[in-house]
Amino acid sequence: MKICMLTGAFPPDRCGVGDYVQRLCSHLAELGAEVHVVTTAHSEPQPEGWDGAVRVHRIMRKWNSAGMCRLSRLIREIRPDVVHVQFPSVGYHRVAALALLPLYLRASGRRAILTLHEYLISSRLSRIRQTMMAAASHAVITVTPEDEARLRLALPWKQQSVHCISIASNIDRQPGESFDRTSCRKAWGMEPDAPVICFFGNLHPGKGVEELIDAFAVLSRTCEDARLLLIGSFDPRHTLYSYVVHRKILDLNLSGSVRVTGFVSRREVSELLLSSDICVLPFREGVSVRRGTFLAAMRHSLPIITTQPDGAAPPELVDGGNVLLVGPQDTAGLARCMEMLVRSPELRSRLALNVAELDSRFSWPEIARRTLAVYDSALGSQ
**pLDDT confidence of residue 313:** 81
In 3D space, the residue among 147, 143, 146, 148 whose CA is nearest the CA of residue 161 turns out to be 148
Residue pair 216/341 in contact by the 8 Å Cβ criterion: no
Are both 88 and 119 inside the same structural domain?
yes
Q: Are residues 224 and 281 in the same domain?
A: yes
- The pLDDT score that the predictor gives to residue 46 is 57
353 touches 324 (CB < 8 A): no
Helix (H) or strand (E) holding 20: helix 16-30
216 — phi, psi (to 5°)?
A: -65, -35
Ordered strands of the 111-116 beta sheet: 49-51, 54-60, 34-40, 2-6, 82-87, 111-116, 139-142, 162-164
Judge if 152 and 203 occupy the same domain.
no
For 51-86, the pLDDT digits (tens) are 889 999 999 988 988 888 899 999 999 999 999 999
Q: For residues 238 and 203, what is the distance between their CA atoms, to the nearest angstrom?
A: 9
In this structure, are 143 and 157 located in the same domain?
Answer: yes
The answer on 330 and 208 residing in a single domain is yes
Is residue 188's pLDDT more than 60?
yes
Q: What is the mean pLDDT of residues 170-197?
A: 90
Band of residue 310 on the pLDDT scale cut at 50, 70, 90: confident
Q: In this predicted structure, what is the pLDDT of residue 289?
A: 85
Residues 294 and 255 in one domain: yes
The reply to whether 130 and 188 lie within a common domain is: no
| Domain harbouring 11, CATH code | 3.40.50.2000
CA distances from 95 to 86, 165, 282 (A): 14, 26, 31
Please name every residue paired with 4 in a beta bridge, in sequence order, or none if there are none. 36, 83
Q: What's the half-sphere exposure (Cβ side, CA atoms, 13 Å) at 74?
A: 23
- Domain interval for residue 44: 2-168+363-380
Q: Which residue type, as a one-letter code, is found at position 283?
A: F
